Amino acid sequence: MDIATLVGILLGLVATVGGIALAAGAAGASPIVFVSGSSFAIVFGGMIASVSVAFPLSDVLKLGAAMGAVFKGGGVKLGSLVDDAVDVAEVGRKGAADLEKAIDGIKNYFFRDGVQMVVDGYSEEELVEIMNTRIDYREIREKSQSDLFKTMGNMSPAWGMIGTLIGLVIMLSGFGGEGGGTDALGVGMSAALITTFYGSVMANLFFLPMAAKLASRISATSTMQSMLVEAARLIHQRKHPLIVREKLNSFIPPKEWKKTE
């Protein structure tokens, strides 16, 4: 699990709830006024309706899986992948037969497929083209999840404003109308403000940060896979393991560079 995501959400909730409690206590009011089922229904229900219009139903139904991807822990450290690639490169210099035996020991499926293509006799150009195409279309698939959260983040405040307009209509209808008066004024003003509050919290604590998290994961995975494409290409050329290590170190920060032991 990604601890940073969980800590961030919990910290945001504690800060928000704590701020509400302190402000309400100072004003002599009850924090329970911030709990409104109707306001939540307007914002959350309207937001789900909007993304259902904007995205295919299959993407909307995968919302739970997308949230699971946000909380999923980080990937493998690039430094360990460099070590794995160097080991495979050393075996690959002995011949295709030895390289084929080493394939089952490769844990990363993307790199394993690349080495398998080397063993199967693909040309260097074919290998690079196929692996890069896989990177491109993986990015397209995963970007749809990020776009889904981004749209939810954009729609939540918009539906909060719709709830505000509803509350204002209720509030204004209380002036001079039957059954109106101060009671209708208070109910309308509460609905007007709380829906905006809910929309802002949903957008800025949950959906927009989740979209940013997925976007950063997509970028990190692409960097990792680009490094493995280069590793497979170097193994295809039967480069010396020292050269493989130095070239792959270019993909990671200098402080994480792996050196020959």
pLDDT (average), residues 38-61: 90
What are the residue boundaries of the structural domains of the chain, listed by start? 1-35, 36-261
189 pLDDT more than 80: no
pLDDT of residue 3: 84
Task: Look over the chain and give the mean of its residue pLDDT values, rounded to a whole number.
Answer: 86
54 pLDDT more than 70: yes
Residues 6+ apart with CB under 8 A from 125: none
**Whole-number Å distance between alpha carbons of 170 and 30:** 23
CA angle centred on 199, ends 196 and 205, rounded to 5°: 130
- Whole-model pTM: value is 0.81
260 pLDDT more than 60: no
Of all residues in the chain, the percent with pLDDT exceeding 90 is 40
pLDDT (average), residues 176-194: 63
For the segment 210-227, what is each residue's pLDDT rounded down to a tens digit? 999 989 888 989 999 999
170 pLDDT more than 80: no
pLDDT (average), residues 102-116: 91
Residue with tokens 């822990």: 73
The amino acid occupying position 62 is K
258 pLDDT more than 70: no
Q: At what angle do helices 124-173 and 182-201 cross, to 10 degrees?
A: 170
| Higher pLDDT among residues 174 and 201, named by residue | 201
